[in-house]
Amino acid sequence: MSTKQLSYDHGVSDIPLMGKTIGAVFDETVARFPDKVALISRHQNIRWTYREYQEKVNALAAGLVELGLKPGERIGIWSQNNAEWALVQFATAKAGLILVNINPAYRSSELEYALTKSGCSALITSPDFKSSNYLEILEKLAPELADCAPGQLNAKRLPALKTIIRLGDEKTSGMFNFNQVIDQGTAAAKQQLDDLVGQLQFDDAINIQFTSGTTGSPKGATLSHHGIVNNAYLTGHTMGITDVDVVCIPVPMYHCFGMVIGTLLSVVRGCTAVLPGEYFEPASVLNAVQEEGCTTLYGVPTMFIAMLGLPDFKSYNLSSLRTGVMAGSPCPVEVMKQVIAEMNMEKTTVAYGMTELSPVSNQSLMDDSFDIRVSTVGKSHPHVEGKIVDENNKIVARGEIGEYCARGYGVMIGYWDDAEKTAESIDAGGWMHTGDLATMDDNGYVTVVGRSKDMVIRGGENVYPKEIEDFLYQHEKIEDVQVIGVPDEKFGEEICAWIKVASNQQLTEDEIKAHCQQEIAHYKVPRYIKFVDEFPMTVTGKIQKFVMRDMMKKELGL
């Protein structure tokens, strides 16, 4: 077989990779566009020029150094979208601290796991968000906060955590205030920051993002300056983004989509970033586009569906829009048609990737035909190789289904403190195995056809059934549980749990949901619960989840 027929592709590019840290790229952009508006946070009434942005980033970085935080230490951020998130992103990079992104939907058990696994010595937290009172959750996990001085925490359940910094102006015992940290950097701390410029390396780890594991607990994908700086730059290039663009970011910042393809891309391309709100809300996004003249809009398909579905959708002026990225889960053809025709996003691209790839590995091109944009996830990104392999890791012929793998500058450093899981995902040749089943056509365009394993994508959030199963197993009345995804019009998929109740026990649907709501993120709480005596199994005792799915589809009329 000649190489032409094999499912291998390489993104060739005349744009060289940048060997620069995030801080260096940030400062270069500020030098080029000091007076240009860099960041708009509409719900906070904030509009910063690049120079103002830099002053705040440098002050926060010096404040963190003043607290005694050293390069390589981990610092968590647990917050909804806001301007402070962006400051933290760039300030930690300048101080050489590894930023640990914590999902705003996490509750106590997930927070405890993420902080402990990554060994965070500091945490920046919002006081609350939606139905979660973050301060209460922290005070329960670390009751020692009541009696300790800020920066002196010694908590039994969170042994590494010493410093908590809270957003907002109210005082909380045992915690610093964010603005206090910004104001406290001394001349010595600023000097230390200047010295760090020459010491930090672009290959250093700079970010840990927790992704749910197919087996058990979430894994901390560890990314470098090099991976995310270049991915942001090249994703922007593929979309034709220049310094005149205005990028609307309704996707969460704790996720690569928000912080790499959002705030970081805006900085490396020298354009303006707009945060329409704390979280996605369709009307606030369309208002932001209209009032700020946004040229670029991001979202997962469910977000676009929600915007198009507003009763007064037609009343918004979206004529400034030109391009954007739709990613996170496959895009329905009809939705893409509407986005192009009715939202003026003629040059919309579809991106594919995963956190472990920093994140984009494939993207459609602006001048690709409509059919290619809706039916594929595009070609290999510049400087990225892609291939499709069978279960023996042998490359398959073009058009054949196999597992999609990617290799290149964006492959993560590894899963934090988990050599075993890292070795399961990145093979000896340096290829990241995505777990997605795909085909590659003669022109190198990749189509994702399904997922190996049983991951559920609900509204753009990856949910791994095993994590929910492990959690529910802990309930004393549950003997066995299996979790699957079932189709859902609004979210793409919804969570369904089959539960076998322990003998001589009674359990209701409401009890289970109440138990979940206290402990796990809302999007992981099963929408459908079915009590069963047994599960469909193979002769060898393997659970047949596809049989369960088919049964639920019939039962629910989906």
As a three-state string, the secondary structure of 335-399 is HHHHHHHHCCCCCCEEEEECHHHCCEEEECCCCCCHHHHHHCCCEECCCEEEEEECCCCCECECC
Residue 540 pLDDT greater than 80, yes or no: no
More confident call, 252 vs 211: 252
Residue 78 φ/ψ region, left for φ over 0, alpha for ψ in the -120 to 50 degree band, beta for the rest: beta
CB of 323 closer than 8 Å to CB of 348? yes
What average pLDDT score do residues 318-336 get? 86
For the residues of 439-502, what is the DSSP string, one character each? EE-TTS-EEEEEESTT-EEETTEEE-HHHHHHHHHTSTTEEEEEEEEEEETTTEEEEEEEEEEP
pLDDT digits (tens, 9 = 90+) for 393-403: 999 999 998 99
456-556: same fold as 48-204?
no
Output 453 or 104, whichever has higher pLDDT: 104
| Structure confidence at residue 334 as a pLDDT band (50, 70, 90) | confident
Confidence class of residue 1 from pLDDT cuts 50, 70 and 90?
Answer: very low
| Span of 143-152, 380-389, 438-447, 455-464 with lowest mean pLDDT | 455-464
The token pair at 117 is 């696994």
Please state which of the ranges 194-208, 256-270, 527-541 shows the lowest mean pLDDT. 527-541
Q: Mean pLDDT lowest for which of 68-77, 144-153, 366-375, 490-499?
A: 366-375
pLDDT of residue 214: 40
pLDDT of residue 448: 86
pLDDT, residue 103, reads: 92
359 prior amide bond cis, ω within 30 = yes
d(CA 522, CA 520) in angstroms, rounded, equals 6
Residues 477-496: tens digit of each pLDDT: 998 889 999 999 999 999 99
Percent of the chain surpassing pLDDT 90: 82
Number of neighbours of residue 156 by Cβ within 10 angstroms = 9
What pLDDT digit, counting tens, does each position of 38-64 carry?
Answer: 999 999 999 999 999 999 999 999 999
* pLDDT for residue 514 is more than 50: yes
Domain ranges (residues) in the chain: 48-204, 456-556
Neighbouring C-beta atoms of residue 177, cutoff 10 Å: 17
Cα gap 517→174, rounded to integer Å:
27
Q: For position 467, what pLDDT does the model report?
A: 80
Q: Which CATH class is domain 48-204?
A: alpha beta
pLDDT attached to residue 539: 59
What's the rounded Cα separation, in Å, for the pair 88 and 63?
11
Region 309-337: mean pLDDT is 89
Higher pLDDT, 365 or 543: 365
Beta bridge partners of 272: 246
Residue in this structure with the two tokens 């005070």, named with its chain if needed: 139
* pLDDT at 476 exceeding the cut of 90: no
Q: 255, 101 in Cβ contact below 8 A?
A: yes
- pLDDT value at residue 331: 74
Decide if pLDDT at 215 tops 60. no
Alpha carbon distance 370, 352 (integer Å):
17
For residues 116 and 157, give the distance between their C-alpha atoms in angstroms, rounded to a whole number.
8
Mean pLDDT of the chain, nearest integer:
93
The per-residue pLDDT for range 2-18, each reduced to its tens digit, is 556 999 999 999 999 99
Mean pLDDT of 203-209: 98
Average pLDDT of span 430-443: 94
pLDDT (0 to 100) of residue 56? 98
The model's pLDDT over 98-135, given as tens digits with 9 standing for 90+, comes to 999 999 989 999 999 999 999 999 999 999 999 999 99
**CATH value of 456-556 in 3.30.310.80, 3.30.300.30, 3.40.50.300, 3.40.50.620:** 3.30.300.30
Among the listed residues 411, 409, 438, the one whose alpha carbon sits nearest the alpha carbon of residue 355: 411
Q: What pLDDT was estimated at residue 453?
A: 67
- The closest alpha carbon to 57, from 79, 30, 77, belongs to 30
What pLDDT sits at residue 473?
A: 80
The predicted model gives 263-279 an average pLDDT of 98
Q: Residue 245: pLDDT above 70? A: yes
pLDDT of 209 reads 96
- Which residues, 6+ apart, have CB-to-CB distance to 458 below 8 Å? 485, 488, 491, 492, 493, 494, 495, 523
pLDDT confidence tier of residue 391, bands split at 50, 70 and 90: confident
Specify the pLDDT at position 436: 87
